[in-house]
Structure 1
């Protein structure tokens, strides 16, 4: 459960039953959208909500919407998202942090649990450059798409903050080259030796046990 006194960043994934995006592309789209929403504030004064949110656990809520609902949300000027990211068939909207009880009803009524998409080959990034982030997920945990997306977003956010980017355009360009690895248990342990950001350890409120390592970021050689 999310404490109502805490700020949470809503992220909405497109789940089109007729033409679903892949598990991997959807995880990546959600993670990139989450951080890109913040990166867009780097060139201006940051909203107090972002500052307060970043000082806590930067909680995220990954929700799903069908094609009709997603299209409506993307066009909503009254509750405008901060980022819309498309990767392959996957699409994700990310918003500025808000108190749970203050979220628009259009977001509140979206489902959270049970978001699981087919595990098909991922879309290859169009640009691959040295230093670009690669999210490493602990594949041994069997996380749902929604859960994995939140953990990937945590890892990418931690990397972004660790890097200390202050150029919004540069940060956004680098985010669009982000890649994803769903690692075996052995690979996950081995790659930690070259981690470029903090190891994400989950509180265990849903799906997995408390204090479980879920994700981190490495940088492309």
Structure 2
């Protein structure tokens, strides 16, 4: 099974390896065999967070922009077959892990990174075309990875019907780490939506909130059977590889197709 409309198939073709991993019940494509060659290139999507010194964004605004930007790049026409980004995005999605690396930028450095191929959302986050981590351009390499933490805010209740990415209420994550995780979640959510026959545009701008412990426990208890968890609650998880901050296999966040679902 694959996205029902020809245009959707084209726009999401680079995500087919991801679909085979996150919703195998919804696709007839086998998950690709991944050669985790320790000497091979490590591919990642750079995610540039605009955190100005004088007027920093709220973490909610930044994370929502990060989720939207990662997905926007993957569904951009340039990431479709024949597009200039297709090979890079497809190679990254087929690498076994959808690694992202968040970096902080401000003022002139933020302006400079706009010239690097990618997609900017809300003038807060720019997702760049993925590639080997040791081949990033100078404009990206000079940006700091740390210093992304922002003070908590109090976001409003999510409107019913809006897709949500729920952060794990029991795991501490830096803002930069969370930005990478919600970017994973938006891609996974759109992939499952598309491969189960709905319009991925419906989840293009998800809200980001921290889950209640009760809801989190309910969803996590259902994840042993991902197909049933999707059918009952409309949820799909992000399980971290454990390279930074959290233990391998930790569910860092859960995408849900609609608030109140």
TM (norm. structure 1) is 0.81
Residues 195, 67 of structure 1: alpha-carbon distance in 2 compared, 3 angstrom cutoff: farther
Question: Does 2:230 correspond to 1:202?
Answer: no
Counterparts of 1:132-143 in structure 2, within 5 Å, are 132-143=162-173
Higher helix proportion: 2
- Alpha-carbon separation, structure 1, partners of 2:236 and 2:39: 24
Residue 46 (structure 2) aligned to one of 3, 6, 10 = 10
- Give the distance between the partners of 1:113 and 1:172, measured in 2 at CA: 32
- Work out whether 1:104 is the aligned partner of 2:134: no
- Call closer, same or farther: CA 1:43–1:50 in 2, change over 3 Å: closer
Displacement of 1:118 in angstroms is: 1.8
**Do the aligned residues in 1 keep the contact of 2:190 with 2:204 (CA within 8 Å)?**
no
What corresponds to 1:144 in structure 2?
174
2:203, 2:257 within 8 Å by CA — same for their partners in 1?
Answer: no
Q: Give the match for residue 181 of structure 1.
A: 209
Q: 1:3 to 1:163 in 2, by over 3 A?
A: farther
1:49 aligns with one of 88, 97, 103: 88
Tell me the residue number matched to 2:105. 65
SS at match of 1:215: strand
Assess if the C-alpha contact under 8 Å between 2:186 and 2:255 holds in 1. yes
- Give SS of 1:32's match: helix
1:160-184 Cα shifts (integer Å, max 9, x gaps) = 111227xxxx7457413x1112124
Structure-1 separation of matches of 2:136 and 2:111: 18
Q: Distance in 1 between matches of 2:174 and 2:80?
A: 35
Tell me by how many angstroms 1:204 deviates: 1.8
Deviation at 1:44, TM superposition (A): 5.2
Residues 196 and 113 of structure 1: is their aligned pair in 2 closer, same or farther, counting only changes over 3 Å? farther
| Higher mean displacement: 197-206 or 208-217 | 197-206
Does the C-alpha gap of structure 1 residues 202 and 92 become closer, same or farther in structure 2, counting only changes over 3 Å? same
Question: How many residues are treated as equivalent by the alignment?
Answer: 205
Bigger Rg, which one: 2
Distance 1:133 1:173 in 2: 8
SS in 2 for 1:198: strand
Distance (Å, rounded) in 1 between the aligned partners of 2:190 and 2:254? 12
Q: CA RMSD in A?
A: 2.6
Q: What residue ranges of structure 2 are gaps of 5+ in the alignment?
A: 1-37, 223-231
What runs of 5+ residues in structure 1 fail to find an aligned partner? none
Separation of aligned partners in 2, 1:85 and 1:122: 19
1:80 to 109, 117, 120: 117
Q: Could you say what secondary structure the match of 1:164 adopts?
A: helix
- Which of residues 49, 65, 68 is equivalent to 1:32? 68
CA distance in 1, matches of 2:44, 2:233: 26
Say which structure is richer in strand.
1
